[in-house]
Amino acid sequence: MGVIRTTFTFMMGTVCGIYITQNYNVPNIRKLANTGLFMAKQVEESYRKPKKNKDDDLDQ
What is the chain's mean pLDDT, rounded? 86
Question: Rounded to whole angstroms, how far apart are CA atoms 21 and 27?
Answer: 9
Domain encompassing residue 36:
2-48
What residues contact residue 26 under an 8 Å CB cut-off, 6+ apart? 20
Q: How confident is the model at residue 39 (pLDDT cuts 50, 70, 90)?
A: very high
Identify whether 21 is part of a domain: yes
State the Cα–Cα distance between residues 30 and 37, nearest whole angstrom: 11
pTM: 0.48
Q: Is residue 59 part of a domain?
A: no
* CA–CA distance, 53 with 20 (Å, rounded to integer): 55
Look at residue 49 and tell me whether its pLDDT is greater than 90: no
Q: Is residue 54 part of a domain?
A: no
Check pLDDT > 60 for residue 56: no
16 inside domain:
yes
Domain count, the chain: 1
pLDDT over threshold 60, residue 59? no
Any domain includes 58: no
Residue 55 domain flag? no
Write out pLDDT tens, residues 13-28: 999 999 999 999 988 8
Residue 40 is assigned to a structural domain of this protein = yes
